[in-house]
Structure 1
Amino acid sequence: MNIAMDGSGSGQETPDEKQQLHARGRAGRRKGKALSRNDTGGSEEVSLNAMGRLYKKIIGASVVTRYLMGAEVPADSLGDEFKGYIFRITGGNDKQGFPMKQGVMLPYRTRLLLSDGHSCYRPRRTGERKRKSVRGCIVGQDLSVLALSIVKQGEAELPGLTDVVHPKRLGPKRATKIRKFFGLTKDDDVRKYVIRREVQPKGEGKKAYTKAPRIQRLVTPQRLQHKRHRLALKRRQSEKVKDEANEYAQILAKRVAEKKAEKADARKRRASSMRK
């Protein structure tokens, strides 16, 4: 369950404001870290975004600028409704939209050479590397979005976040996971515990029916028979290969002996002809 802190923004910009934003963006690209280093406001309006619902809060500089990504933060300073909650910082974006990257120990943006497997980068071609701007993992006032996950739930429920339970649509499909889910042993029949779901047909007047997933990796007598059959075929093939190899070796030895005998007879005939 993720909560995201989202900075407040005005709905539509005037042409002058758009021109100023473009100029600031160009300056930020030229100077790199200048925008994020110089942005040191005292307080900032932040909204907690969870599943499309916004919770606006005013937080001061001392509340958020002490932590790194992955740190567990007590949320008491955000308000009474968050009393007792503990959040883990999972990421964020600065005001220009650049994402925070774990392991970059900086409170501002930097440019890193990234390749396949790195976060904050999706390669378009195989083996491609590219230098991208990323935000460091130290939380600062230049952030507009801060993503959090709940580690410990507090006293009060958060509307739309902790007071709603969204059940899983599908149950486990693999046999071992069904056993683990229901605490079964190997002797229990897994097929009796498959979670079925109800399907409502689109047409009017049609009765609803239930569907069950096909259990994967289920050990049945037919599967054991197939395994025995495969092993028997494998043994039969190996025995056939051994017999053919022995037969070939016997034929080869016989041909070699015949060749040796022919050569010996030829030598004897030549020797007898030379004596005459």
Structure 2
Amino acid sequence: MTNGPFSNPDLWPTAITAFDADDILIRGRNVVDLMETGDFGSVAFLLLTGRQPTQGEAAVWNAIMIASSDHGPTSPSTFAARVIASGNRRAPEAAVGGGILAIGDAHGGAGEEAMVFLQEGLALARKPGGTLRLAAEEIVSNYRSTGRRMAGLGHRFHVVDPRTERLWSLSQSFGLSEDGIALMREIAAVLTETVGRPMPVNVDGAIAAALIDMGLAPPIARMVFILGRAAGISAHVLEELAREKPMRLRFDFRYDGPVVEPNSDTRKEEA
């Protein structure tokens, strides 16, 4: 692939994919070879990072996507997709797309935020006199002083998120458990002591720490969540279309706005 439009310096450059009449390259590797020897998770890792994962990284990465794949119909992305599918029966792609669009800072973005404060904490711990414990205390103090909820800790449904330790033990088994996971444990301990109730690391925090120890950048956390959750969203859309009637989602609500009496505005104007 040395000739053709991909070598024209005036065209839009990309380091991700190239193709001609005979071949398709992903990050310089022939897609046919990747189809024969790879798995989707490893190819996704290659696309996002520009390098192929080690055996351990591939295992942890795939575990992250599995852990992110679904958490029932109550999560914002899945719920949104169900609502769209309930009203739009002929375009399941719209429901899937709408579900993905419901992913954001509050749902699916916690891992990225946690990776940012883990990076900051590790920088503090590596300064002269710094320790992981001191870094954790400073991070928790900063969040508490501004009244912000810490990303990656606590869960609406689980007292202990069952995915956390399994993911971290997998990281450890491949020699990938380093200071990121250790710092997240310290943060959970400090926060628990500070608020006086258990604040365990949830799957977002577990993913963030594992990705930090793999040397990846914070935006990757949101992308790997989207990759995993797209499968669950798709399954819920198909189930909604197959099992439920159109427009079946109805909700009780209460009105708390103003009540304007008939002709009241007119009387005021006349007065």
Smaller-chain TM-score bracket? under 0.3
Please give the TM-score of this superposition, normalised by the length of structure 2: 0.22
Per residue, is there more helix in 1 or in 2?
Answer: 2
Structure having greater relative contact order (Cα 8 Å, sep ≥ 6): 2
| Rg larger in structure | 1
